[in-house]
Structure 1
């Protein structure tokens, strides 16, 4: 396998191109990378022989994500030699480019090779500028090879039209962000549990690691002083911790029901222990959810998307490094709260037991994680069209 080194010093092995269709996605921010890999994951469920190649700008420090089969890393310099080598090796059937179309040589070469390119999420600050007012304006020529441009900005759309870009190949779309596909649940089981719990206040600790459980139980014990009927649902991050978690609960003095052994919460139970495979059910039943695996400041954390999409007001610890952009966005709209201590966790759970406050946070979270769903659907549809056209073209040649 060929070894390549780019200007930034990044070196990688140029592995063989996989068989079947290949979608190339290029990211300019970590959030766009996550969103593109999410789109790749969804496309792969629709087209099983599809592979997704991911690249990004040299200044980003990213790692692979589910949905991107080949995280090839930062692109080399934008020269004709590099563009020819890259495209000849990978032979992409379609491409999603995000951010500024600054790699003019690469985009021109893709056009010449007949590869459809969708430019997504073009912002005002990323519009290409005229190199010099004394020289011919090359921006229209640079953009004309793009199959379609999606932008959340009316200003960008209007400027592109003034440049002469065809309006039928322009589309206003929301910002490109990861959108949730929340886990389902058994509807009969949901109805039964809603009846069982009635008006009882419930909060969920999801993705709980064993070393976090004592702190969560202490917080629950403190909250019980003000909310005597409060039920904590503990959903473990790993089923292998189930037996050890049972022992911790037995030693805690809290009354618990064991869902994995067929137990259901009785009025006197203060905790319900589950292995974590039914999170779709518990998110729907819990107005408040702690997204655990985050209490250790050095932890990477878990994605809050499912909780937000299913209407839970969210708490989390400081260890959210792998998903910080998502949590920052949710915090900005008031959908997520960081807690540092057991007492802070207990106080927040009690405060959010007021239905109006939890509902306000949950709505903000739901709006935030679903606002890009239409953009995702548009890209999925357009990429499939490009891939179908490429397949038809190859079959006819």
Structure 2
């Protein structure tokens, strides 16, 4: 698809527009940002020519911008010149907007350009109010350029219809949240390990930094005093740390098997060491999982979504800054528990290894990370429709 060359926007545009289709996503919360970038990743699997442009509101503080091709940062003021320059440079083929439709100038220019815009996750306190009962109601004109509005609230749906927005373009959908695409595993290997482990209690330490290993082993020793058959699976974050981890385990006094060299757990094995490539297998086998790379309070941490989606009750340290919203959501659901010391980790592993407790937490985690799956699927379908319509329109001109 040919694109005309335009002057760059005055808004810190430091990159050229990518070739091919461009989806613009705009976030108003960190959780929405992560969800939108997740949707972008999924769309790119379906449409390899697609790039994702991400922006957010000026008051939003993001700890990272991983997941979108072009994170342009906070939008500038909603003025005709800024909006015109931005759209002239980037020429998005479709947009997903979240939160209140407050940028009237930008939305108007998108409407005038015929760019499809989906407004997702509109909450009750984000619906625009009528400016004055004595002046004409401008809300319908503000919203009429939107292709569709998704809201989790029936009250919002009713209010929008009362303003004159077409009922067929307002849909109820769950809250917009990032959802998991958990890693797979070899089914034959899974069945064989299930038979090998039997009813033996297992806990997993995933994404382990070498600096965290000694403390995790100490916590395991404490848990072994009460759960004598407990097996710890260590999945390292960096494969290059395997040799150092082997040396540490040899000096630890714990019996261990090395999965990377073909070793398998036997009845006397207390620790199984892996390089981390088979997390899809170990999450499925471990009722309890510590999401490591988090024991240092200053660490950014790792996403807990895969572990929760595959049925593990979760432990984590205080260093979860890049994924704090996700952990807080899982903690609120009763699916995750923080630990700060070796003693806390020992106590938590013992308590959560009780089958009923682990099952309760695992179910809560699975429900939490899958509740937005239908909303994600809806947005994927609608964005593809908008992109197909744009492609057909461009082909006809």
- Normalised by the length of structure 2, the TM-score is 0.97
CA distance in 2, matches of 1:215, 1:230: 17
In structure 2, relative to structure 1, the CA distance for the partners of 1:396 and 1:338 (3 Å cut) is same
* Equivalent residue, structure 2, for 1:33: 33
Structure 1 counterpart of 2:3? none
The question of whether the paired residues in 2 share the 8 Å contact of 1:23 and 1:51 is answered with: yes
Say whether residues 1:185 and 2:185 are aligned partners.
yes
Asked if 1:121 is matched to 2:117, the reply is no
Task: Give 3-state SS (helix, strand or coil) of 2:32's partner.
Answer: helix
5+ long unaligned stretches in structure 1: 7-11
The superposition leaves residues 160-212 of structure 1 with CA deviations (integer Å, 9 ceiling, x where unpaired) of 01111111111100000000000000000000000000000000000000000
Aligned mates of 1:167, 1:337 — CA distance in 2: 43
Deviation at 1:76, TM superposition (A): 1.0
Tell me which residue corresponds to 1:9.
none
Matched residue SS, 2:96: strand
**Are the equivalent residues in 1 in contact too, given 2:119–2:150 (CA < 8 A)?**
yes
What is the CA–CA distance in structure 2 between the aligned matches of 1:18 and 1:285, rounded to whole Å? 42
Which residue does 1:296 correspond to in 2? Answer: 296
- Kept in 2, the 8 Å contact 1:121–1:150? The answer is yes
Quote the residue 1:358 is aligned against. 358
Structure 1 5/389 Cα, relative in aligned 2: closer, same or farther at 3 Å? Answer: closer
- Distance in 2 between residues matched to 1:123 and 1:351, nearest whole Å: 38
Q: Are 1:2 and 1:15, in contact at CA under 8 Å, matched by a contact in 2?
A: no
1:6-35: per-residue Cα shift (whole Å, max 9, x none)? Answer: 6xxxxx343111110000000000100000
Q: Match for residue 166 of structure 1?
A: 166
Question: How far did residue 61 of structure 1 move?
Answer: 2.1
Cα distance in 1, alignment partners of residues 331 and 346 from structure 2: 19
Asked if 1:266 is matched to 2:259, the reply is no
The whole-number CA distance in structure 2 between the counterparts of 1:236 and 1:93 is: 41
Aligned to 2:81: 81
Report the alpha carbon displacement of residue 60 of structure 1 after superposing the two structures with TM: 1.1
Question: For 1:238-261, what per-residue CA distance to the aligned partner results, in whole angstroms no more than 9, with x for missing partners?
Answer: 000000000000000000000000
2:384 paired with 1:391: no
Helix, strand or coil at the partner of 1:283: helix
Count of residue pairs brought into register by the alignment: 392
2:296–2:318 Cα contact (<8 Å) kept: yes
Matched with 1:207 is 207
The equivalent residue for 1:239 is 239
RMSD: 1.2
Does structure 2 retain, via aligned residues, the 8 Å contact 1:37–1:65?
A: no
2:64–2:322 contact (8 Å) kept in structure 1: no
Alignment check: 8 A CA contact 2:63 2:321 kept = no
